[in-house]
Amino acid sequence: MRASGWWVVAVLVVPLAAQAEPKPTPVDIKAYRDKLVVLTDAAGGIYVVKPGEDPHLFFGTGKQLYEQSITGRSANGDGWSVDVYAPRVGNFQPGSVMRSPDDATYSKFCGNDHKTGLSLVTGEKARAIVDKSQFLSTAVLRLPHAFFRDDAGTYYYVDALREQYGGKGYRVFVGKKGAMKQLPLSDIANDSAGEVFSTKTGDLRLVMNDGQPKSGLWIKGEKKKDLVVLDTDRDSPMIFKELGIYGFLGTICDDL
């Protein structure tokens, strides 16, 4: 259209097409099926562990058991421990399932402060659990990409799909803890200068250094707001418990 001698161009900002969330996929356990140890807790949790040099750990509260991301292992005589990623545990600590070398008892740890006794299931009962369960890949579909806060206590958060689920698939959330809102993305720019996530509400601009955010800026119209960079590892419990974004993760320490 034309008004007062000027051409007025209407610009339509179209949100990026929403990518369907992936789902955990079946895991083949045939190679180590006869080496599995079956454990349960008093709340109905089921832990199926393959200890040793190539450890595996699955957990669930029903027929679906989710693979845990292994972060470490140890052995001491007849005792052993398998450490797994547990994003709701603080102080960079993992979750773990262990067999004591002293008294052959089994326990689950979520960091140093949360210990749960586990019971060994043997014989036909153990075989029935393994036969009837569905072993699936991790239910932690997404990982933190960048995390910021402004001086008013508003948080700005970006997550992405895990590589095993395709990677990227970024989402942007803005708001106070417990009231974060996802902002539909209209564009994403990623180059040597950093990353820009454009939404209808504003743009989140990241300067990256070796794949980690070095600085952040929230741009809304002509206004620019410097953001404080937060450590996604140190603040993992806040991200996965307090922001209100994530519910079920399928980890052995979900109940923290």
Whose CA is closest to 46, among 129, 139, 138?
A: 129
Secondary structure percentages of the chain, helix, strand, coil, to 5? 10, 45, 45
What are the tens digits of pLDDT across the range 141-197?
A: 999 999 999 999 999 999 999 999 999 999 999 999 999 999 999 999 999 889 999
What is the per-residue pLDDT for 152? 96
As beta bridge partners, residue 40 has: 46, 119
Confidence of residue 11 (pLDDT cuts 50, 70, 90): very low
Q: Is the pLDDT of residue 14 over 50?
A: no
**pLDDT the model gives residue 16:** 64
pLDDT band at 17 (very low <50, low <70, confident <90, very high): low
State pTM to two decimals.
0.90
Long-range CB pairs of 104-109, under 8 A, 24+ apart, other chains included: 104/78, 106/39, 108/41, 108/47, 108/252
pLDDT tier for residue 18 given thresholds of 50, 70 and 90 = low
In the chain, the N- to C-terminal Cα span, in Å, equals 59
- Mean pLDDT, range 34-48, rounded to an integer: 97
Location of structure tokens 């979900």: 254
Give CA–CA dist 77/255, Å, rounded: 31
Look at residue 10 in the predicted model and tell me its pLDDT. Answer: 39
Dihedral, CA of residue 54, residue 109, residue 75 and residue 100, to nearest 10: -130
Digit-coded pLDDT (tens) for 86-107: 999 999 999 999 999 999 999 9
Residue 12 or residue 188, greater confidence: 188
CB-CB neighbours of 69 under 10 Å: 19
The whole-angstrom separation of Cα 146 and Cα 232 is 7
Strand, helix or coil for residue 33: helix
pLDDT band at residue 13 using 50, 70 and 90 as cut-offs:
very low
Under 8 Å CB-to-CB from 141, ≥6 apart: which residues? 21, 22, 24, 161, 162, 165
Report the percent of the chain where pLDDT is more than 90. 89
> DSSP string covering 197-215, please?
EEESS-EEEEEEETTEEEE
- Choose among 209, 170, 41, 218: nearest CA to 117: 41
Provide the pLDDT for residue 210. Answer: 86
